[in-house]
């Protein structure tokens, strides 16, 4: 029996991947199909700012707060501004994206939006139950909600790290920022460490920027440590004492090669972080999510079904990503040495293509030879290979 609470698609979680899915579905679904988006939040706040590199300008041109064509990488023996063409690097504020999606969907009668907490999804029947006692039935459910704090990952076989960052959105009295160039990785540091830790600057104007301290860590660190580093960086590196902190961001992205239990064939399909869309070795996921969601919707509309290859990255890329996470995340090869060496030897265009999993086998081998401590990377790859298709 079809009731008003029956939908063709239910998006359980309406953050980045849920909303990207809604925008893609809007392009292909029929006039009588119905889509329900359920999120525990109204998405009325700027809960994050996404930055990404891409060659796809579809969202960038509509939503980016700023776009850059150059990045700067600084560390021992290297301090270069590099052009990233044909890529661009852009920043989109969460709230701008959420408002854009709402504007696109508000007059489309096929879409409904409910603010509620999903309690349970019954996979066989496709019933989604929310904590306010309501039930909705979906022919296909895209599940993207998850709680990072409650991630339980068996650490024996997998690397689990945190990309933890503290960012200050600042306004300085005098122009100090180079508006054309993103400081992608500045390995200047207050203390010696093998971990991958760096400063990152998104300059919005000469006097406005997001300045962030990022660390790949096995255990999350006290917020004060990040503040100490940021204070040091402003004083010793930027030589700025007169500035106002407009907003702060302190959060983390889990970085893991754990293969999240993927659901593809039944009524529930996982997308977003919970489907492994966050690249383990970098923590980036905006462009990957955009690409994977487009692939899923295309598969649905052309083949009428989703296959594993539409969601899951090829094995050799997962394997390499996992080995890179092991050596850089755990400081087996010091983060600064690893990344500086890569940027010294490879053009960013090539590195981005490699990280986007578009490099050919020849290019992958070239990258393996360019990294310092390649023996350690090879050992990590073999170790990961031994746990085989669990990755």
Ligand X SMILES: Cc1cc2nc3c(=O)[nH]c(=O)nc-3n(C[C@H](O)[C@H](O)[C@H](O)COP(=O)(O)OP(=O)(O)OC[C@H]3O[C@@H](n4cnc5c(N)ncnc54)[C@H](O)[C@@H]3O)c2cc1C
Site membership for ligand X, residue 118 (CB under 6 A): yes
Helix (H, G, I), strand (E, B) or coil at 366: helix
**Closer by beta carbon to ligand X, 13 or else 348:** 13
Instruction: Assess 286 for contact with ligand X (CB under 6 A).
Output: yes
Q: Give the DSSP H or E segment for 378.
A: helix 374-386
CA distance 4 to 2: 7
Nearer to ligand X, 13 or 372 (CB): 13
Specify the stretch interacting with ligand X by CB under 6 A; choose among 24-32, 36-44, 184-192, 194-202.
36-44
Using Cβ positions, the residue closest to ligand X within the complex turns out to be 15
Q: What x/- string results for residues 228 through 257 when contact with ligand X is judged by CB under 6 A? A: ---------------------x-x-x----
The answer to the question of residue 169 lying near ligand X (CB under 6 A) is: no
Nearest to 37 by CA among 119, 122, 145, 112: 112
Per CB under 6 A, which of residues 258..277 are in contact with ligand X?
272-273
How many residues belong to the chain? 391
Number of residues that bind ligand X (CB under 6 A): 27
Phi, psi for residue 176 in degrees, rounded to 5: -130, -15
CB of 273 to ligand X, least distance (A): 3
Choice from 11, 35, 38, 209 touching ligand X (CB under 6 A)? 38
Query: Does residue 203 interact with ligand X by CB under 6 A?
Result: no
Q: Rounded to whole angstroms, what are the CA distances from 287 to 77, 95, 124, 292?
A: 31, 18, 32, 9
Q: Which of 5, 8, 26, 48 binds ligand X (CB under 6 A)?
A: 48
Of 16, 185, 293, 297, which one interacts with ligand X (CB under 6 A)?
16
- The DSSP symbol for 128 reads E
First-residue to last-residue Cα distance in the chain? 41
Dihedral sign (CA 153, 155, 160, 164): positive
Q: Which among 340, 326, 332 is positioned nearest to 371, based on CA atoms?
A: 340
Please, what is the minimum distance in Å from the beta carbon of residue 274 to ligand X? Answer: 6
Binding site for ligand X (CB under 6 A): 13-18, 38-41, 48, 50-52, 117-118, 144-145, 249, 251, 253, 272-273, 278, 284-286
């Amino acid at each position: 029996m079809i009731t008003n609470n029956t939908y063709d698609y239910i998006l359980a979680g309406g953050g980045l991947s849920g909303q990207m899915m809604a925008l893609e579905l809007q392009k292909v679904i029929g006039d009588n199909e119905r889509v329900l988006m359920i999120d525990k939040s109204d998405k009325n706040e700027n809960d994050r700012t996404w930055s990404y590199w891409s060659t796809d300008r579809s969202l960038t041109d509509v939503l980016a707060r700023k776009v850059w064509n150059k990045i700067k990488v600084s560390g021992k023996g290297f301090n270069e501004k590099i052009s990233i063409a044909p890529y661009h690097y852009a920043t989109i504020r969460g709230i701008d994206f959420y408002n854009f999606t709402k504007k696109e969907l508000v007059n489309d009668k096929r879409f409904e939006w409910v603010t509620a907490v999903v309690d349970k999804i019954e996979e066989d029947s496709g019933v989604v139950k929310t904590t306010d006692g309501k039930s909705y039935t979906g022919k296909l459910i895209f599940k993207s909600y998850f709680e990072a704090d409650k991630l339980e990952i068996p650490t024996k076989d997998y690397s689990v790290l945190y990309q933890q960052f503290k960012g200050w959105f600042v306004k300085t009295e005098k122009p100090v920022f180079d508006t054309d160039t993103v400081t992608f990785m500045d390995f200047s540091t207050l203390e010696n460490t093998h971990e991958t830790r760096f400063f990152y600057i998104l300059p919005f104007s000469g006097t406005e920027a997001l300045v962030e301290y990022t660390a790949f860590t096995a255990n999350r660190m006290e917020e004060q440590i990040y503040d100490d580093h940021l204070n040091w960086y402003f004083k010793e590196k930027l030589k700025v004492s007169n500035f106002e902190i407009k907003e702060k961001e302190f959060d983390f992205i889990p970085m893991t090669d754990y293969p999240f239990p993927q659901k593809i064939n039944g009524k529930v399909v996982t997308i977003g972080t919970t489907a492994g869309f966050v690249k383990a070795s970098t923590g980036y996921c905006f462009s990957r999510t955009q690409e994977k969601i487009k692939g899923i919707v295309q598969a649905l509309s052309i083949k009428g079904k989703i296959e594993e290859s539409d969601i899951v990255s090829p094995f050799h890329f997962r394997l390499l990503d996992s080995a890179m996470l092991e050596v850089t995340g755990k400081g087996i090869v010091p983060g600064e040495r690893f990344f500086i060496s890569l940027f010294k030897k490879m053009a960013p265009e090539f590195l981005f293509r490699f990280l986007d999993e578009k490099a050919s086998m020849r290019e992958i081998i070239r990258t393996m030879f360019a990294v310092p401590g390649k023996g350690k990377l090879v050992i990590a790859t073999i170790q990961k290979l031994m746990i085989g298709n669990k990755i």
